[in-house]
Amino acid sequence: MALPVTNPAAPFEVTRLSHVVVQSADLDRSRAFYEEVIGLVLTESDANTLYLRGVEERCHHSLVIRRTANTPACERIGFRVAAEDDLDRASAFFSGSGLEAEFAEEPNQGRTLRVTDPGHLALEFCAHMPTRPRELADYGSHRGAAATRIDHVQAHVREIGAAAAFYGGLGFRVSEYASEDGTEQTAFRSIFLARKGNANDIVLASNLGPRLHHLAYVVHDAATTLMKVCDLLAGRGAREQVEWGPNRHGLGYEQFLYLRDPDGHRVELLSYPYQLIDLDDGPAGWSTSNADVANLWGPPAPESWFRVASPFDGVEPEPPALRG
């Protein structure tokens, strides 16, 4: 099995991960968690929706939380494109590829193109959002981790090879990957794909899917901040929301902490990832038999980290294909 080839002439220009839309059974609890623990800024809200962003972010939101009466799920993963014309090119590309795409007027992000990728991940693309002043230097307002910006999502997918080929065709680059022996000759466990100039925007993992494994926000001074967040949750009587960490990944090298929000959605806080800009900076392979892949020291991930993830709304996950 080969890694995906990056398309240098992608049909439209994706610039970065933009936002994630998830559901909550209790918006008040969600708001308290994301404002007071993760430290996001509430840009706007109504009776059924919260719009949040990191303290470094100017765009209206990077996380949307919608009220639901059902089991909370992930609704969509959002990407930004470079310009309005890219939405039209994207629509033509998806329609020509046999993927149904439709435009929607989504509040606070302008014209939005919605599509389901070949692995049934629900995506949306937008070119514009309203902006607000950054709150990066408004230190008196910072709470919790004061998360700066959204960095990536990780998705469980049934056919990792096909999924990676799809994103490679959209211009995404592979930064790192894990396979049985650390080469392209054996089955892939995970593939990191990037657009914005650092290690990843979307991580694909072979597992029961499609499901959202986690969304990730970058924090400053991670060595101190991650411990502070654990202490904060302990003081709130919510130690069970700390799932794994603080620790340091081998694959990607970031310091990390995984938390579970009140609805069970997984959130990663991490240190700033390395840059991925030069074209001769090729993919790095890891063997799944290497104990350093997931973490360089300390206890391994709990079973829940491998097994539990958020379903996509209305989509029944399926077991992974044997070789992706």
DSSP 231-260: HHHHHTT-GGGEEEEEEE-SSS--EEEEEE
Which pLDDT score, from 0 to 100, does residue 324 have? 47
Phi, psi at 282, each rounded to 5°: -80, 170
Which pLDDT score, from 0 to 100, does residue 321 have? 85
Distance CA 320, CA 47 (A): 38
Over the chain (324 residues), the average pLDDT of each successive run of 10 is: 92 98 98 98 98 98 98 98 98 96 94 96 98 96 98 98 97 97 95 97 98 98 97 98 97 96 98 94 94 92 97 96 61
Distance CA 63, CA 86 (A): 23
Q: Which of these, 233, 173, 121, lies nearest to 14 by C-alpha position?
A: 173
Which pLDDT score, from 0 to 100, does residue 82 have? 98
DSSP 52-87: EE-TT--BS-SEEEEE-SSS--EEEEEEEESSHHHH
Distance CA 193, CA 200 (A): 5
Distance CA 225, CA 148 (A): 12
The three-class DSSP label of residue 228 is helix
Q: Which tokens is 292 given?
A: 């350093």
